[in-house]
């Protein structure tokens, strides 16, 4: 609970005296890396955060985008990495709860959850399997209990996450623009704590998440209660409707310390509170414990005196506890009392704004070696290679995961998990496509281009549903920022994301930075996770393929297999040239696919990503129970051997399914769009075949591949 020496001196200078013990605890929580972003805040300003659809208000915990017809969507992304590594069920579940409350704090109803999960090698490590199983169960139980569908996400396994877990959770909200809560407050307003009781769980959680994980500090892990969360959602939205809420904030990292100081600072007010007024779960809690507890399912609400009784009646109706814990002042101070005794009296702007750091950077030494590519021997049987890839943990079907989630509750889910992106029905007749993506293998080899690739892949995924990207959120996860080599990878990744966002006019509307993702074995690979939202004005594209349809590939396949599943899983080789996004080519390909969608000329679209072209074609065949014959000579490409051509993970590529009668029109539009493309195959029979003029390079039955693809992950998790 301590500050760095220079931080203590800075605080002492700012307040002109020695801080009290309670003040030190409050400031230590708020100035932790997890809450203050003191290492990253300066650099995050390079991301474009404005746009014609972006709505900004004081104190919002989620991004807000205008989707037309006086409707808005909200989005936020969070993580619960350290807690999930210690107690995966509770850690993952409370991650869901926290991001849901960020959505309702804007006055919108949560309509969807997405999760990004990363663990160690589950083929060899029983502990990784235990973490994985329990994290999935925690997310499923929490989301299912509160009735919000988990509609998508991603799952990945890598040795760098050994004895650790990355649990990213994103949430989407929806509502009317005129019901957004625009945070305001005046002197004399009342500060209300609503929701679960404050207990000793999660004490010091923000500091726990701001250091390397070296011990299992279970007291820092919060306890989930989804039933209270569901009641809070309904109570807050009804209180919004009855205009009982002037301002609202979720109690997340840092608990009351951060919620009070950040609310006061953002609204330029003072807040005086009495810790004895806080409803607690356990007897004898000290004031310091109350201020820094991170007990879940709690919201801070500012209301005026005339609306207090109505708010209390709403809480009584939904069986939600609420306590008036303080009042709004006009002195811009955070004043914590216990009855008449002052425990802390600090300027809110000092507490809420930690001194920012200029971290040194240094290009990692390992990059000199890792980008040199070895000459790898081509496998003689590429059919077996493809079968092995499709049954590997990273590429096998994730049905076992999303099968535990209720992804249809709420009746908005149009495209369910298992496809390129989830699609949700909006009340204005439009549709929202959402996807999160990450690729630590690429980012380890080339942080800048790896991060750009994650961003572009998420865009490709939503484009495959017919959506135009309108906004993004990012979650930037790295090791210890005090290490110049690790901080260099963070800066490079951020530069890449900013460049791509600016070029494509996709504003960043929210995000999270998570440092200190390390264990005694070392840091994780750089793991930026990007969420993209896309808007569809007409019925979305739900990919289908039937016998007689043709397969078109848009985009060029290049010799860039660094970080590919083929290099790492098949050959055990880490290194090489990471795929790079050509911005001009990416934009042209994206626009061409959307143009075909608008003219109803294609039956489906699927992006090429992990595993390359061979895996992407196989996925289309397995999802539609139909065979496909692909001619390798037709693939737009650089000169490549068969294995590199089939398993390269080059970006900006789309597989399009079309009926033959539309082919002439499609070719005309693609030619006018100046994109690389060709008709590479047709759907027929029950075999997945990749051929040259003289031979079959891959020949597998759809049925055989499908069984392995669907069952491999489930068998591994359940039976080891």
> Residue 618: which CATH number?
3.90.650.10
Whether 34 is catalytic = yes
Q: Which two tokens stand for residue 134?
A: 């329990």
* Active-site entry in 34, 82, 475, 606: 34
Q: Could you tell me if residue 580 is inside a domain? A: yes
- Strand pairing category for 166-176 and 109-119: antiparallel
Q: Could you tell me if residue 196 is inside a domain? A: no
Q: How far apart are CA 58 and CA 263, in angstroms?
A: 9
* Active-site entry in 43, 80, 335, 442: 80
Q: How far apart are CA 451 and CA 443, in angstroms?
A: 6
Instruction: Decide: helix, strand or coil at residue 369.
Output: helix
Q: Could you tell me if residue 567 is inside a domain? A: yes
Band (217; pLDDT cuts 50, 70, 90): very low
Q: Could you tell me if residue 499 is inside a domain? A: no
Q: Could you tell me if residue 333 is inside a domain? A: no
> What is the maximal distance between C-alpha atoms in the chain?
90
Backbone angles phi, psi at 530, to 5 degrees: -115, 130
Cα–Cα nearest to 171, from 108, 87, 262, 221: 108
Band (222; pLDDT cuts 50, 70, 90): low
Q: How far apart are CA 427 and CA 213, in angstroms?
A: 44
Q: Which residues contact 560 (CB under 8 A, 6 or more apart)?
A: 576, 577, 578, 579, 580, 648, 649, 650
Other CB atoms within a 10 A radius of the CB of residue 554 amount to 26
pLDDT at 718 over 70: yes
Domain count of the chain? 1
Q: Could you tell me if residue 227 is inside a domain? A: no
pLDDT for res 204: 56
Band (209; pLDDT cuts 50, 70, 90): very low
pLDDT digits (tens, 9 = 90+) for 27-82: 999 999 988 999 999 999 999 999 999 998 776 789 999 999 999 999 999 988 88
Q: Could you tell me if residue 595 is inside a domain? A: yes
Q: Which two tokens stand for residue 89?
A: 């069920």
Determine the structural domain holding residue 638 and report its residue range: 377-400+543-720
Higher pLDDT, 97 or 614: 614
Whether 80 is catalytic = yes
What does the buried/exposed string (b/e) look like for 271-286 if buried means 16 or more CB atoms within 10 Å of the residue's CB? bbbbbebbebeeeebe
pLDDT digits (tens, 9 = 90+) for 197-207: 999 876 654 44
- The DSSP secondary-structure symbol of 637 reads B
Average pLDDT over residues 176-190: 95
Q: What percent of the chain has pLDDT over 90?
A: 82
Q: What percent of the chain has pLDDT over 70?
A: 96
Q: How far apart are CA 301 and CA 245, in angstroms?
A: 6
Q: Could you tell me if residue 591 is inside a domain? A: yes
Distance of alpha carbon 383 from its chain centroid, rounded?
Answer: 34
Q: Which two tokens stand for residue 169?
A: 């959770």
């Amino acid at each position: 609970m301590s500050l760095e020496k220079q931080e203590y001196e800075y605080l002492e200078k700012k307040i002109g005296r020695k801080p009290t013990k309670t003040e030190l605890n409050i400031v230590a929580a708020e100035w932790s890396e997890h809450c203050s972003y003191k290492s990253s805040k300066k650099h995050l300003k390079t991301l474009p955060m404005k746009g014609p659809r972006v709505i900004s208000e004081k104190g919002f915990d989620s991004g807000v985008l205008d989707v037309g017809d006086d409707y808005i969507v909200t989005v936020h992304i969070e993580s619960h990495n350290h807690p999930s590594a210690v107690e995966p069920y509770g850690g993952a579940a409370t991650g869901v709860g926290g991001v849901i409350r960020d959505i309702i704090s804007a006055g919108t109803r949560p309509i969807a959850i997405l999760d990004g999960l990363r663990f160690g090698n589950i083929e060899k490590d029983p502990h990784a399997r235990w973490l994985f199983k329990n994290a999935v169960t925690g997310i499923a139980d929490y989301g299912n209990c509160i009735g919000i569908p988990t509609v998508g996400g991603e799952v990945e396994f890598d040795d760098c996450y050994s004895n650790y877990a990355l649990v990213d959770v994103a949430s989407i909200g929806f509502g009317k623009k005129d019901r957004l809560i625009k945070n305001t407050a005046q002197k004399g307003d009342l500060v209300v704590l609503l929701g679960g009781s404050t207990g000793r769980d999660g004490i010091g959680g923000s500091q726990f998440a701001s250091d390397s994980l070296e011990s299992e500090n279970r007291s820092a892990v919060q306890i989930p209660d989804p039933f209270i969360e569901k009641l809070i959602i309904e109570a807050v939205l009804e209180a919004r409707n009855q205009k009982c809420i002037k301002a609202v904030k979720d109690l997340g990292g840092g608990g009351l310390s951060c919620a009070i100081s950040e609310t006061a600072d953002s609204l330029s007010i003072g807040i005086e509170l009495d810790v004895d007024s806080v409803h607690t779960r356990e007897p004898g809690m000290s004031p310091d414990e109350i201020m820094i507890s991170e007990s879940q399912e709690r919201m801070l609400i500012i209301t005026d005196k005339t609306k207090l009784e109505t708010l209390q009646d709403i809480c009584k109706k939904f069986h939600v506890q609420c306590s008036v814990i303080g009042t709004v002042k006009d002195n811009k101070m955070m004043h914590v009392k216990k009855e008449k005794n002052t425990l802390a009296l600090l300027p809110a702007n000092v507490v809420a704004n930690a001194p920012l750091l200029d971290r040194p950077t240094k290009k990692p030494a390992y990059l000199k070696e890792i980008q040199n590519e070895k000459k790898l021997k081509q496998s003689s049987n590429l059919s077996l290679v493809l079968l092995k890839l499709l049954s590997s943990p990273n590429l096998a079907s994730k049905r076992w995961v999303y099968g535990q989630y209720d992804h249809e509750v709420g009746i908005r889910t149009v495209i369910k998990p298992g496809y390129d992106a989830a699609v949700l029905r909006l009340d204005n007749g439009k549709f929202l496509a959402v996807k999160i993506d990450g690729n630590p293998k690429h980012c380890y080899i080339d942080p800048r281009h790896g991060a750009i690739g994650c961003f572009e892949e998420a865009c490709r995924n939503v484009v495959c549903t017919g959506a135009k990207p309108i906004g993004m959120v990012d979650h930037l996860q790295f090791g210890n920022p005090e290490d110049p080599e690790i901080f260099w990878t963070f800066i490079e990744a951020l530069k890449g994301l900013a460049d791509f966002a600016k070029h494509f006019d996709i504003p960043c509307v929210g995000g999270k930075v998570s440092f200190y993702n390390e264990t005694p074995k070392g840091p994780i690979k750089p793991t930026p996770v990007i969420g993209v939202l896309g808007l569809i004005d007409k019925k979305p594209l739900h990919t289908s393929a039937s016998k007689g349809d043709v397969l078109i590939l848009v985009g060029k396949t290049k010799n860039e297999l660094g970080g590919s599943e083929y290099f790492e899983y098949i050959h055990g080789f880490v290194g090489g040239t990471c795929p790079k996004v050509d911005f001009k080519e990416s934009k042209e390909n994206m626009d061409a696919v959307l143009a075909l969608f608008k003219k109803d000329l294609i039956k489906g679209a699927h992006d090429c990503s992990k595993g390359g072209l061979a895996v992407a074609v196989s996925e289309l065949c397995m999802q539609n129970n139909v065979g496909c014959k692909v001619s390798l000579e037709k693939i737009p490409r650089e000169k490549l051997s068969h294995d590199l051509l089939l398993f390269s993970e080059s970006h900006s590529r789309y597989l399009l399914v079309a009926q033959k009668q539309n082919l002439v029109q499609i070719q005309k539009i693609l030619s006018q769009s100046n994109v690389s493309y060709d008709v590479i195959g047709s759907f027929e029979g029950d075999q997945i075949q990749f051929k040259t003029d003289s031979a079959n390079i891959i020949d597998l039955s759809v049925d055989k591949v499908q069984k392995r693809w669907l069952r491999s992950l489930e068998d591994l998790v359940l039976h080891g």
